[in-house]
Every structure is written in structure tokens, then in C-alpha cells.
Amino acid sequence: MSERARAIVDRCVRFVAGMACALTMCAGIPIAVHFASNPVRWHQFDLALVDWRYGNVTLSSVATFIDSAWSSGVQILLSRPSREPPPLDEPSKVFRYLFAWMPPRGVVLPTEGFYYFRTRMGDNEVWGNFRVADLSKGMLSFAYFTVPDKTVWSSNLGSEDGLVVDRLDEVTFDVEFHGVSRRFLLPERPATRPLAVDLAPDEEYVGTIHDESGMRFTLVFNRNTSVFYDVLDPTDGVPETLEPFGEKFLIGRRTGFVFYVDELWHRHLLVGVSLESVKRNDFFDGPGDQVPFYLDLREKLYLAYPQTLLGAGIDDHGVYLEKPQWMRIAICPYLRYASPWELRERLTAVDDAVERSALWTALTKEWWNTPDWRAGIYSDLEKEGKLEVLSTLTSPAEAREAFGE
């Protein structure tokens, strides 16, 4: 090749490389704008960064992160949403403000269908969420509260409020509100248990939980003892540093979650969460509020939590019927600790030589679930004529027949 030809090739290569760098920089500008200019901290990005910090990186998660952040930055540059927050006591205006700052593609990772955010409004730190579980019904719920005093506001939006919902597939919804359009990508719905979690003969796979802490769990129901419990799911990596905490336990450096290590079954059983996190209602309050919203749980809930039979009862998904506000039974089979050392001392006293179902049940039973409490519930059920029905709930089919469904 002649010198002239080499020079031409060299210039072409430099031109292409320069264009590639320019395009990369241009593509990166909107992402930088999102993180520098968006006054709202959207939890989907925090969860992705937590996973990456612990080495749980996939091409899909990177592509989703870039897509959401880039489209958010472009939206900010083009539409320039108002930076002036509205009064806190006007939920409709607060919703419009937040919806305008939401990324055009919102990825909902926690499995109960909450799209979380944090921001500041005036002198107040504000936490909240959009609840997307009822988008298939054309509804979007919205709640927020101040921190630390927890003054709460909430609202349910539907077509009468100007909300337009278009369902594209099982987990993708386009939502328009007064000219502003956003897309929600809901959690996937795995139908089978993770291969990394083995089940005992008495156990049944209920669902997979992606907690707002970033941790993933397999929710298990024990038919022998009629209880739920959460087993750590390591399939996609564990975004946590688990440190030895006595002979049989591990504690999370980031989350404060305490796990019982069952070497026989090669599982980590969630047994404790921080009471302070529960009081704050922060992202480390445990996975009890992230049970997938689409699961049919009613019969299992009747057995594990017989109080759900009282009054009007609950629907298939554990939502209380005939309540003035949406309320779902929390499946929280673990203890809340003020001191992790006291928790360890209490749980170490449990005899791990007993049959496994009994052991797992003893380690995870809620603090309030005492014999006296259950006796009181059974007395109330007897007064309502439902105690005999409870004893028939041995299978979903029999349960439905017992209730005349």
C-alpha cells in the first residue's frame, strides 16, 4: 500500500473513531443530565447499582438501566419539568409533579408492584411509591410520607381523574395522565421455583420475592405446620456481604438481615430484621411487604393467619375486603430485633435436633403469634361460625367448596 493510501486509511480510521467518541459522548449527556438534574431519586436505579456493586451484572440489567436513564435525560432536556415542588397536602399536584419527573420507562423491580421514589419538597424529606398492581383494572395508586414524622398522603387514580391505561402485554403498561405518558415494566412472573432452592416433602413453592432491599427470596409454605417462611435465593447473586454471626447465623452488613444457616438443606432462612427499619418503613424492613401481588394465597393465608377469616375476610391475593383503604395481610415470618445479639441468643436456644419442619417454624414464627393469641382468634371464629370451616382447609379445592365457591 502506498504512503498516500495509508494516509487516507489513517484519516478514515481517525474520522470513524472520532465520530464514535462524539456519538458516545452525546449518548452519555442525557444520562448525566438525569443523575445531575432529576430532583427525584427513583429506586429502580439504586437497585441496579446495588446489584452491580456486588458483581451481579447482566447485559439485560445494563441495557435497561441505560435505556431508562437516557430516556429520562432526554425528557428533561426537551420538556423541562417544573422544579418547584407543590404543597405537600395537595396529592393531585404532587402526583403531577412526580409523574412529570418519572423516567419515560419505569422499571418496577419489587414484586408487590411498588415503584419507589425519594425526594425533597421544601424542608421535608419525602418517600413514597406508585402502586402498579391494579393497572390491569385501569387504576394507579399513589402514596407518600414525610420522614421522620411520617405524615401520610395517598390517592387512587382512575379514568375519572384523567388516567388512561393501555395494556401492551402481561407486564407492560402505558399510562397517560393529562398529556404526560409513561411506560411501566412490571416484575416478571416466574412459575417455577429457583433450582438453587431445594424443597422438603412438606414444603410448597409459593413465589419468588424481589425485595426493595435488592435481596431475593423464595417464599415457601409448609403444609405440615401451616406456616410461611423466606429462603434466600442466590440464583442471580446475593447483593450483600453476609458475615458470620455466631455458630449458626449470618448477618447482612448492608441490610441487617439475619439468616439461619441450615447446612443439611443448604439454605439460608431469614429469621430477623431490624426493628428500627420496620419503624422507619425503610428498604430494609423485610420482604413481608413484597409478596407478589398476583399470587392466589387465600387458603394458605387462612391456615397461617386465621384472623383473615374474620369479618368480610380477604380476597385471593390477601387484600382485606370491605376496608375503607387498601390493606393487605403482611406475610412476615421472621422476628424484629432491637438487638441482633439478643435475637441470636433467643434463636440459639431453639433445639436444632428436632424435625426440620418444626425447626424452621420455631425459628421464623412471628413474635405476636402466640398460643394465647391464636386461642383468642379461634374463639372469635367460633362466634362467627367459621371455626369448623377452618379445619376443612386441607387443599385449595376443598377450601373453595367449603366456602361455596
The whole-angstrom separation of Cα 148 and Cα 106 is 27
In a shared domain, residues 230 and 128: no
Residue-wise burial string across 290-321, b where 16 or more C-beta atoms lie within 10 A, e elsewhere: bbbbbbebbbbbbbbbbbbbeeebbeebbebe
pLDDT at position 1 is 58
**Which residue range forms the structural domain that includes residue 143?**
3-185
Residues in the chain: 405
In a shared domain, residues 158 and 225: no
Residue 394 or residue 333, greater confidence:
333
What tens digit of pLDDT does each residue of 346-365 get? 999 998 878 999 999 999 99
In a shared domain, residues 124 and 224: no
The stretch 85-109 carries a mean pLDDT of 96
pLDDT at position 195 is 87
In a shared domain, residues 168 and 249: no
Angle, CA 379 vertex, CA 375 and CA 385 arms, to 5°: 140
In a shared domain, residues 166 and 246: no
pLDDT at position 389 is 74
Lowest mean pLDDT among 150-164, 192-206, 332-346, 378-392: 378-392
Q: Which contiguous run of DSSP H or E holds residue 128?
A: strand 124-131
The whole-angstrom separation of Cα 327 and Cα 98 is 24
> Is there a domain that residue 76 lies in?
yes
Instruction: Mark out the alpha helices in 38-58 (DSSP H runs).
Output: 43-53
- The answer to whether residue 17 scores a pLDDT higher than 70 is no
The stretch 112-129 carries a mean pLDDT of 96
The stretch 299-308 carries a mean pLDDT of 94
- The answer to whether residue 49 scores a pLDDT higher than 50 is yes
> Is there a domain that residue 196 lies in?
no
With cut-offs at 50, 70 and 90, classify the pLDDT of residue 24: very low
With cut-offs at 50, 70 and 90, classify the pLDDT of residue 402: very low
> Is there a domain that residue 194 lies in?
no
In a shared domain, residues 45 and 178: yes
pTM of the model: 0.88
In a shared domain, residues 207 and 63: no
In a shared domain, residues 115 and 24: yes
> Is there a domain that residue 213 lies in?
yes
pLDDT at position 182 is 98
What tens digit of pLDDT does each residue of 363-392 get? 999 988 888 998 999 999 999 998 877 777
Angle, CA 345 vertex, CA 339 and CA 351 arms, to 5°: 145
In a shared domain, residues 359 and 212: yes
- The answer to whether residue 3 scores a pLDDT higher than 80 is no
- The answer to whether residue 342 scores a pLDDT higher than 50 is yes
> Is there a domain that residue 195 lies in?
no
In a shared domain, residues 149 and 218: no
Decide which of 129, 158, 185 is a domain's last residue.
Answer: 185
Lowest mean pLDDT among 153-157, 224-228, 366-370: 366-370
Q: How many domains does the chain have?
A: 2
In a shared domain, residues 26 and 170: yes
In a shared domain, residues 159 and 290: no
